[in-house]
Amino acid sequence: MSAITVGEFNTAQLSGGQKLALKYFFVAIVLFAAQCLFGLLAGLQYVMPEFGYEWLDFSVNRMVHINAMVVWMLYGFIGSVYWLVEEEAGTELVGLTIANVAFWVLTLAVTIVVLVYLFVQTGPGEIETIWFINEGREYIEAPRWADIGIVICVGVFFYNVAGTFTKGKWSGISGVLVLDLVALAGMYLAGMFYTSNISMDQFWWWWVIHLWVEATWEVLVGCIMAWGLIKTLGASRKIVTTWLYIEVALMFGSGILGLGHHYFWIGTPEYWLSIGGFFSALEPIPLVAMVVHAVYDSGVHKFKNGNHPALAWLIAHAFGNFFGAGVWGFMHTLPQINLYTHGTQWTSSHGHLAFFGAYATIIIAVIYIALQKARGNVFMGAGLANSWRWKWSLVLLNVGVVGMTMALLIAGYEQSFVERALEGSSWSGYFAAQRTHWFLQGMYWREVWGVVTMAGLVLLIWDLLTIGAGETRSAPELIEEPAAA
Amino acid sequence: MSDIPKWAQEDFWRKMAIWVTAGMFVILIVLTFDSVAVITAGSDRVPAYNVINNRIYYRMDRERAIQAPVIGDEAPLFGKMLSEEEAQAMVSHGKLTVQAKNCMNCHTLLGNGAYYAPDLTKAWLDPAWGNEAIRERMMVEFLMDPNTNARGYGTGRKMPNLDITEEEAKAVVAFLKWMSAIDTTGFPAAFPSIAQEGDL
């Protein structure tokens, strides 16, 4: 092993799983940039509708925007798990070679899918289009061949993770993590079939989308958060594990039947109005628990930590998750209001803050933890050279996304009033709402805040490439707090 | 730790997590069996595909206090009565076309999708098609040549030409007609339907 120099980027000091994790993080950030770029293009089309007409239509930009997001977050999660699995299990990764092969296969598949989205775009109304071009179902547009590839690669990932824990040791965090991965992979299968019945289609489609985003992904980030607080603060494993169990009970206790809030208007029985309304109204509770947990643990340690950017992003995650997923979701989850907000910009307001707040933030935190190690456990505390970069990227990204959220919310309020309440969702009502100055101002401001977000991302990428370079101090040793005072 | 109350212990919450998750999942499975039966085509809420042979209304149901689809007398789509199998094949071709042309990344269907273009749930019943005598023809012409027939109502937005064939366009219309007959528990609310024969 080569000598470790603090501050120098050197993968020789990393384990096999950690090197693989860095590859996943690299692709994740590339796709994050693609998400923001195509989001800006799609947003631009609201204010300049002639832009891209018939060569890069809104549907294409929007599809790449949301697919890049889903895939970069999955890459971020997979990378995070590969990063922590060996340390958590206390042994080397099982099946490293096949894990690397799966990474390249998955990345090749993603590349082909994106190129086909951009250059082929659509196909004839035949089953072959669904298999080879575009499935045409929001968020899971990937054609069927890619679905099968994804399932195989996720299978390899699961084998690596479960195998490593089985060979090494299990913990509370790893137990929850592995069971959650089983559910996460299993849900994807619910989206892999064709039916002519749109109600049936959407019923199972929500099994994938909701039970991922509002259940299994949340528990996955709960595991990452638990591990992250141990890593950054030296929090007690016993305490974070207990919190993790509480979060799982509350998350699955509310989120599984919270699925019902997507079953209000798709032809499904009316009992879903009560079940979906009630349980989805409870969904913010575990997110409050996560805020309390993160802030309490940070407070107990008087915010003394070994990695300032990572802890800052973990705190951003706790609040972003609560406000974006919790508060913004709750605002329009009851059927009495959802009848008027369903399918309006209100939803995209919620989507922007929730996906960023709940998921983008925590993946960025883990990447900072990984980079610290990749640079020889370099110091990342107060007084770090060029720390303005991580601070300003954090500010610009958060302010940018919150700005977009507010602009879209105003547009959504207006759309709900004019199109839904006044005009009853006719086509002329839809366009009447789209023409009003409130709506248009919302769209202009969304684009402005989108540019701010993009600036934050550029700064983030610069910081990720350079943070810790030239620093010679090592990170301080964290002493794990005793389980009970 | 004996000084930690039971409700704050790790072991207690591990068991809670397992039991709550398992319990909720079992309830979801039971409800899924029920819901899947209710939304299988041919039920009260999701009609059989040959409903496209009939006139479809969207009327206020005083008892439920919401608008609901009402199946009227015969009004065959494109003047041809179809068997259930023929109707399903046509609706299915329409839905495949809707997926293949990525409609959902501009439009919403049953309120789900993107928000750049109008919701299609009740597109078949939209007053924008003028009257029921010309509706089918207008819909097909629009789908095949959205450039010329663009109606952005002053927003400047236009549907792109997606190389939709006549057969595909007719199938999409069949799919839209069938979808408009799904009981969506009053979504969209206060929808002003196109004038049709037999209107009250």
Nearest to A136 among B100, B121, B186 (CB): B100
* Residues 149-188, chain B, touching A (beta carbon < 8 A): 151-158, 160-165, 168, 171-172, 175, 179, 182-188
- Between chain A and chain B, how many beta carbons pairs sit less than 8 Å apart? 271
Taking only the tens place, the pLDDT of each residue in B43-62 is 999 999 999 999 999 999 99
**How confident is the prediction along chain A (485 residues), in pLDDT tens digits per residue?**
456 789 999 999 999 999 999 999 999 999 999 999 999 999 999 999 999 999 999 999 999 999 999 999 999 999 999 999 999 999 999 999 999 999 999 999 999 999 999 999 999 999 999 999 999 999 999 999 999 999 999 999 999 999 999 999 999 999 999 999 999 999 999 999 999 999 999 999 999 999 999 899 999 999 999 999 998 899 999 999 999 999 999 999 999 999 999 999 999 999 999 999 999 999 999 999 888 888 888 888 888 888 999 999 999 999 999 999 999 999 999 999 999 999 999 999 999 999 999 999 999 999 999 999 999 999 999 999 999 999 999 999 999 999 999 999 999 999 999 999 999 999 999 999 999 999 999 999 999 999 999 999 999 999 999 999 999 999 988 877 665 54
Taking only the tens place, the pLDDT of each residue in A306-329 is 899 999 999 999 999 999 999 999
- Percentage, residues of chain B above pLDDT 70: 98
A47 touches chain B (CB under 8 A): no
| Chain B residues with CB-CB distance to A57 below 8 A | 106, 160
Substitution target from B99, B107, B135, B184 for chain A, most A beta carbons within 10 A: B99
Smallest CA–CA distance from B40 into chain A, residue = A200
Nearest to B109 among A59, A130, A198 (CB): A198
For residue B170, is pLDDT > 80?
Answer: yes
Q: How far is Cα A221 from Cα A224, in angstroms, rounded to an integer?
A: 5
Handedness of CA A327, A328, A333, A337 (dihedral sign): positive
B103 touches chain A (CB under 8 A): yes
Smallest CA–CA distance from B101 into chain A, residue = A122
Q: How far is Cα A300 from Cα A174, in angstroms, rounded to an integer?
A: 25
Which residues are within 8 A (CB) of B89 and not within 5 positions of it... i.e. 6 or more apart?
Answer: none
Note whether A125 contacts B171, CB cutoff 8 Å: yes
* Residue A483: per-residue pLDDT: 56
* Residue A306: per-residue pLDDT: 87
Nearest to A343 among B99, B115, B182 (CB): B115
Nearest to A135 among B8, B94, B99 (CB): B99
Smallest CA–CA distance from B156 into chain A, residue = A49
CB B99 within 8 A of CB B111: no
| C-alpha of A283 from chain center | 17
| Global pTM value | 0.96
Note whether B94 contacts A268, CB cutoff 8 Å: no
Instruction: Parse chain B into domains and list their residue ranges.
Output: 6-38, 49-180
Burial tier of A399 (Cβ tally within 10 Å: 0-12, 13-18, 19+): middle
Note whether A343 contacts B4, CB cutoff 8 Å: no
Whose tokens are 């979701």? That residue is: A329
- Report ipTM (2 d.p.): 0.97
* Residue A1: per-residue pLDDT: 46
Note whether B116 contacts A256, CB cutoff 8 Å: no
Distance from CA of B141 to the nearest CA of A (A): 17
Taking only the tens place, the pLDDT of each residue in A139-154 is 999 999 999 999 999 9
* Residue A4: per-residue pLDDT: 78
Note whether A343 contacts B112, CB cutoff 8 Å: yes
Q: Residue B152: which pLDDT band, with cuts at 50, 70 and 90?
A: confident
* Residues 279-338, chain A, touching B (beta carbon < 8 A): none
Average pLDDT over residues B152-165: 95
CB A428 within 8 A of CB B153: yes
* Residue A290: per-residue pLDDT: 87
Q: Which CATH number, 3.60.21.10, 3.20.20.140, 3.40.50.1820, 1.10.760.10, labels domain B49-180? A: 1.10.760.10
Rounded to 5°, the CA angle B50-B53-B54 comes to 110
Angle between helices A16-47 and A96-119 (to 10 degrees): 10
| Chain A residues with CB-CB distance to B17 below 8 A | 176, 245-246, 248-249, 252
Substitution target from A178, A427, A428, A437 for chain B, most B beta carbons within 10 A: A427
Which two three-digit tokens encode residue A481?
């707090």
CB A98 within 8 A of CB A176: no
A346 touches chain B (CB under 8 A): no
Substitution target from B9, B11, B12, B35 for chain A, most A beta carbons within 10 A: B35
* Residue A485: per-residue pLDDT: 41
B83 touches chain A (CB under 8 A): no
